Amino acid sequence: MSTSSVYAIATMDTKGAELQFVVDALRHAGVDVKSVDVGTLDPPAVMPDITREEVLGTPTASLSKDRGVAVTSMSEALATFLSQACECGHVAGVIGLGGSGGTALITAAMRALPIGLPKLMLSTVASGNTAPYIDCSDITMMFSVVDVAGLNVVSKRILSNAAHAMAGMVTQRSEVSSNKPTLGMTMFGVTTPCVTSIRESLEKDGYDCLVFHATGTGGRAMEKLVDSGMIDGVLDVTTTEVADEIAGGIFPAGPSRFDVLIDRKIPLVLSVGAVDMVNFGALETVPEKFRDRNLYVHNAQITLMRTTVDENRQIARWIAKKLNRSTAQVSVVIPTKGVSALDAPGQPFHDPEADTALFEELENQLVSTDDRRLVKYPFHINDTEFAQALVQEFRKFR
């Protein structure tokens, strides 16, 4: 028997028969599988391979009588249990079944697992807003169509599809490896020429370059890979997520942005790409208090708002406060002629006063050391010369 198994997870007091159907389908497909019970109420309808007590590490009597508290405790225990099993090489993949509560419980644990490990969540809520369940992980979500409540002509087909999707992921995996050092880069459409030029130059140097869309989850996904040791250096060119964090946009950095980069002490080149803009949804979703601001309809789903002088000072202080903790090599590189495609002469966000406030505040707030420095170049961010300046700054770290 393989030492690596698919872990099939559900609250087996309410979804025992359904999970067993998935387990049987996986075994029929030749996959080694273990059923895992994470129920917090009644005894399981079908006996699992791994009991809820084994997941918890304590008797279920220790769980709170408050269902919400109990579910949170079980989710935290499952994350620890799966992470430890994964570290030991016992987990080939994870498949979960659930309604809203089970989905929240199981996906929280899935998010703690490494990127690339197959994760599939069959859920009643997979056709709505899945961002809270997936965040920056690589969870595959499948809509159950009918409730996960009984075996019928529809649920059997969907459960079978989910099982065989997982079987395909774990049995047909291609071995992907690289002996190249890996770099992370952040990009927006309005900084694409810059980041593309950087990527092409550093790929010629022998680096494996990973580009992340700076949408909040993109930055966090990059940092998750840094934390897992899969990224060796970062060119954080497009820090627009900080603008959304400061002004309340839909792509915020989150309070811990940059922390992992600093704590892991990896080489970091940082710029201020697209901090001239805050992202909102469709025009009608822009908060009333911002309706008289400089707005630009990027497309039917995204409206951009130009950041002000005061917001740029706040952005600079937020970034500097983070970077002042660094003890590894950090270069902050400033393009004094504009920070995005919309921030250029004749473009709707061209605002030299706001840009100057950003640059001066960064220069004033960032504490320079032998390993932490700020440099300015008289170029626009998308000028080829500026991209090459960023490349040269990174090359200095070698």
Q: Which residue has the tokens 């040269």?
A: 392
Supply the range of the domain harboring residue 215: 182-395
Kindly state whether residues 190 and 72 are assigned to the same domain.
Answer: no
| Per-residue pLDDT tens digits for 197-222 | 999 999 999 999 999 999 998 999 99
Do both 194 and 138 map to the same domain?
no
Instruction: Confirm whether 370 is domain-assigned.
Output: yes
Picking from 143, 171, 199, the residue at the C-terminal end of a domain is: 171
Which residue shows structure tokens 């159907």? 21
Residue 56 shares a structural domain with residue 166: yes
| Structural domain includes residue 45 | yes
* Whether residue 398 has pLDDT greater than 90: no
pLDDT attached to residue 375 = 97
Domain-located, residue 313: yes
Question: Model confidence over 38-95: pLDDT tens digits?
Answer: 998 888 889 999 999 999 988 776 777 777 788 888 999 999 999 999 988 999 999 9
Instruction: For residue 176, tell me if it sits in a domain.
Output: no
pLDDT tens figures, 338-394: 999 999 999 999 999 999 999 999 999 999 999 999 999 999 999 999 999 999 999
8 A C-beta contact, residue 74 and residue 63:
yes
162 in a domain, yes or no?
Answer: yes
Residue 26 DSSP code: H
> Phi then psi for 336, rounded to 5 degrees?
-70, -10
Co-location of 335 and 206 in the same domain: yes
pLDDT at 63: 74
With cut-offs at 50, 70 and 90, classify the pLDDT of residue 178. Answer: low
Q: Is the pLDDT of residue 98 over 50?
A: yes
From 151, 171, 191, the end of a domain falls on 171
How far does Cα 272 stand from its chain's mean position?
A: 20
Q: Could you give the C-alpha distances from 69 to 76, 132, 209, in angstroms and in order?
A: 11, 19, 42
pLDDT of residue 1: 39
d(CA 174, CA 114): 16
% of the chain beyond a pLDDT of 90: 81
Q: Specify whether 200 is located in the same domain as 286.
A: yes
Give the residue from 140, 171, 202 where a domain finishes. Answer: 171
- Please check whether residue 362 is in contact with residue 317, taking contact to mean a CB–CB distance below 8 angstroms: no
Question: pLDDT: is 136 or 79 the higher one?
Answer: 79
Is the domain of 226 the same as that of 279? yes
pLDDT band (50, 70, 90) for residue 2:
very low
pLDDT at 68: 79
Which has more pLDDT, 206 or 3? 206
Same domain, 160 and 212: no
Same structural domain for residues 208 and 336? yes
Q: Are residues 240 and 372 in the same domain?
A: yes
Is 370 in the same domain as 250? yes
Tell me, yes or no, whether 257 lies in a domain: yes
Q: What is the pLDDT of residue 193?
A: 96
CATH number at residue 199: 3.40.50.12030
Assess whether 120 and 213 both reside in one domain: no
Does the pLDDT value for residue 175 go beyond 80?
Answer: no
At residue 142, does pLDDT exceed 60? yes
In this prediction, residue 243 has a pLDDT band, given cuts at 50, 70 and 90, of very high
Residue 60 belongs to a domain with what CATH number? 3.40.50.12020
Q: What local confidence, expressed as pLDDT, does residue 121 receive?
A: 97
The encoded tokens of residue 36 equal 């895992």
Number of domains composing the chain: 2
- The string over 374-393, giving b where at least 16 C-beta atoms fall within 10 Å of a residue's C-beta and e elsewhere, is beebebbbbbeebbbbbbeb
Q: Are residues 106 and 31 in the same domain?
A: yes
Whether 327 maps to a domain, the answer reads yes
Q: Does 177 fall in a domain?
A: no
**What are 184's strand-pairing partners?**
210, 234
Average model confidence (pLDDT) across the chain: 93
Is residue 316 pLDDT above 60, yes or no? yes
CA 236 to chain centre: 15
User: Which amino acid, 276?
Assistant: D
pLDDT of residue 176: 61
